[in-house]
Amino acid sequence: MHTIKYSILPGLERTGVLAPVIPVTFKNSVYEFPTFALVDSGAEQGLISTVIADALHINWKSIPRKSGIATSGNFLFHPIKDITAVIFDYEFNLDINVVEGINAFKCILGRRDLFQKATIVFEGFKNKFKIEFRELN
């Protein structure tokens, strides 16, 4: 079981909002990219920016573009299958969307990926969350 305190992001001082952010290393073949992801129960599927996808040498432009809807509006994405994520030595495969036109830091893990692999408990009143990865055969 890992307990992670929420993180402080610039620009959110006025709101006092802290964020449930987790360190993650993505792997695509021999390429690795360690960065940080927002743990988002409101996200159906994880996403990364095209900048992160390029760093992983994912050939996202060759995947037909699709459109999706989020609370922030419509977005264009390229669904990528079977990359690997490593969080606190726990490794798992996931499908992820490479989204066009979003900030480079955008990296989110959601219900179809991280939330299938772990029990996650948010204690927003304590500014922390807990994550316990499932033991899968």
Partner 1 sequence: MIHKGINFRALVKNYKNGWIAISKKFDRVLYHGITLKETMKKTKNTKDRVYYFPVEKNYSHFVGTL
- For partner 1, the binding residues (CB under 8 A) are 1-13, 15, 17-19, 21, 23, 33-36, 38, 51, 55, 71-72, 88, 102-106, 127-128
Q: Based on CB atoms, which residue is closest to partner 1, 64 or 86? A: 86
Give me the amino acid identity at 91: E
| C-alpha span between 105 and 37 (Å, rounded) | 9
- CA 117 to each of CA 86, 96, 136: distance values in angstroms, whole numbers, following the listed order: 12, 15, 8
State whether residue 134 is helix, strand or coil. coil
Considering the complex, state which of residue 55 and residue 63 has its C-beta at the smaller distance from partner 1: 55
By C-beta, is 6 or 115 nearer to partner 1? 6
Element (H, E) at 129: strand 128-133
Q: What is the DSSP pairing of strand 90-99 with strand 73-87?
A: antiparallel
* Closest CB 7 distance from partner 1, rounded Å: 4
Cα separation, 84 vs 9, in Å, equals 26
Give the nearer residue to partner 1 in terms of CB position, either 72 or 137.
72
Residues 6+ apart with CB under 8 A from 5: 127, 128
